[in-house]
Amino acid sequence: MTQDLIAEADGGVGRIRLNRPKAIHALNRAMCDGVLEALEAWRDDAAVRVITIDHAEGRGFCAGGDIRMLAESGAKDGAEARAFFHTEYRMNHRLFTYAKPIVAFMDGITMGGGVGISQPCRFRVATENTKLAMPETGIGLFPDVGGGWYLSRLPGRVGQYLALTGHRLDGAECHALGLATHYLPAERLAEAKTRIAQGPEAVLDALAVAAPDAAILAHRDEIDRLFASDRLEDIFAALAADDSDFARATLATLETKSPQTMKVSLKLLLDGKTMPSFADEMRQEYAVGSRVVQRHDFLEGVRAVIVDKDNAPQWNPPTPDGVSDHLIDQIFAPLPDDEAWTPQ
C-alpha cells in the first residue's frame, strides 16, 4: 500500500483516506491500486459494513489525476498514461458496482479524478467548502472518469455547459443537481464519520441541513437554450447572437478552451446518455483517452497551464470549424480487443 493512501477498517467502517496533501490529493496509479486492494479486501469481510472516502490533512478532497505524468508519457509512447487510465477506470468501475454502501466526503476541491472517485459512491456529501468541476477542456483533455455518464444525466443541458466551460459548482449547486446526495456543514463531518457505522443514510439525513440557493439554477433556461445543440459551432453561434452578460462571459470562456476536446466532450455526453452500462462507458473513455493524451492539444495545454503557466495555449486546430468529423471519429474508434479496457 502506498503512503499516498490510508486504508484501515475499524468499528464496522472501511476508511479510505487520500493522503497526498502537497498535490491536493491528486491521484496517481499507486493510489488507485490501493483503493482497489482495499475494496477487494473488504468485499467479503462481514465486519466491514460501510466504506468512507475522504482526504487527510490539507485543503481539498482531490484535485484530479497526475496530469504532468500523463503529458510526459503522452509525449513519448503513451504507455504509462494508458496504464494509469486502465487502473483508474477499474477503480471507478469497482466503486460504481460495489455492493456495500460507500460515502464520499467532497469537502473542498473536487475536480477531475476527484469527481471520478466520488460520483460512483451511493452517498456523496457536499459542504460549504465544495468546489466541484471537470475543467479538462482547458488543458486539451475531456471529462473522463465517467464524465460522459454523469454529466449526460444532469437536468437539461447543464452537463454540456459544465463539460465545455469547466465551470466550478459550489456545494449547494452540487446538491441541487444531484451530484451530492447530502449537504452538511463542514463542522459536522467529524460527527458524521464517527457515527457512520450506525447506518450511512440515517446518519447523513440526521446531520444534513438545507442547502443555500443554487446560483446555477438562475441560469437554467439560458443554459438549456444556448447549449441546446450537440454541434459546437451551433453553441458558439448561439452565444455570439445573444447579448446577455451570461452569454458574453460564457463565450469568452469557451474561446480559451481546446476546440478539439470540446467536440470530444459533446460526443462523449451524446453517446454517454444511452450507453448500455458503466463498463461500456469506461471502455469508450479509455479508447478516447488513450488517443487524446498523445495529441497536440493535451501536450500544449499542460505546457501552458501547468508547466510554463503562461495560460496561452496554441490550440491546433484553433477554431471549432477546423476540427473535422473525421478526426472525432478517429478519436472515438474502438480499440482492438487485445488493447481495450476491461473491468477485471
Q: Which of 4, 54, 107, 144 is catalytic?
A: 144
- The amino acid occupying position 169 is L
Contact 49, 13 (CB under 8 A): yes
Of 136, 222, 281, 300, the catalytic one is 136
Q: Are the C-beta atoms of 17 and 5 separated by less than 8 Å?
A: yes
State residue 57's pLDDT score.
83
Instruction: Return the pLDDT at 278.
Output: 98
* DSSP of 171-212: HHHHHHHTS-SEE--GGGHHHHHHHGGG-HHHHHHHH--PPP
Is 322 a known active-site residue? no
Out of 14, 65, 74, 108, pick the active-site residue: 65
Cell of 54: 475522504
Which amino acid type is present at position 300?
Answer: E
Q: Which of 14, 60, 113, 171 is flagged as catalytic?
A: 113
| Burial track 172-193 (b if 16+ CB lie within 10 A, e otherwise) | bbbbbbebbbbbbebebbeebb
Contact (Cβ atoms closer than 8 angstroms) between residue 290 and residue 165: no
Residue with cell 462571459: 249
Go through 114-124 and write b for each residue having 16 or more CB atoms within 10 A of its CB, e for each that does not. Answer: bbbbbbbbbbb
331: how many CB neighbours lie within 10 A of its CB?
A: 21
Segment holding 264, helix H or strand E: helix 259-272
- Helix axis angle for 29-43 and 79-97, nearest 10°, is 30
Element (H, E) at 81: helix 79-97
- pTM of the predicted protein model: 0.97
AA letter at 179: L
327, amino acid identity? L
Q: In Å, how far from its chain's centre is CA 237?
A: 28
Whether 144 is catalytic = yes
The candidate with the shortest Cα–Cα distance to 268, out of 288, 250, 251, 254, is 288
- 66 as an active site residue: the answer is no
Give pLDDT, residue 59: 81
**Domains in the chain, ordered, with CATH?**
1-344 (3.90.226.10)
Q: What cell was used for 245?
A: 452578460
Catalytic-residue membership of 80: no
Q: Are strands 50-55 and 13-18 parallel, antiparallel or unpaired?
A: parallel
| Euclidean distance between CA atoms 17 and 91, whole angstroms | 15
Per-residue pLDDT of the chain (344 residues; tens, 9 = 90+): 689 999 999 999 999 999 999 999 999 999 999 999 999 999 999 999 999 999 998 789 999 998 999 999 999 999 999 999 999 999 999 999 999 999 999 999 999 999 999 999 999 999 999 999 999 999 999 999 999 999 999 999 999 999 999 999 999 999 999 999 999 999 999 999 999 999 999 999 999 999 999 999 999 999 999 999 999 999 999 999 999 999 999 999 999 999 999 999 999 999 999 999 999 999 999 999 999 999 999 999 999 999 999 999 999 999 999 999 999 999 999 999 999 999 98
Instruction: Look up cell 499516498; give the residue.
Output: 4
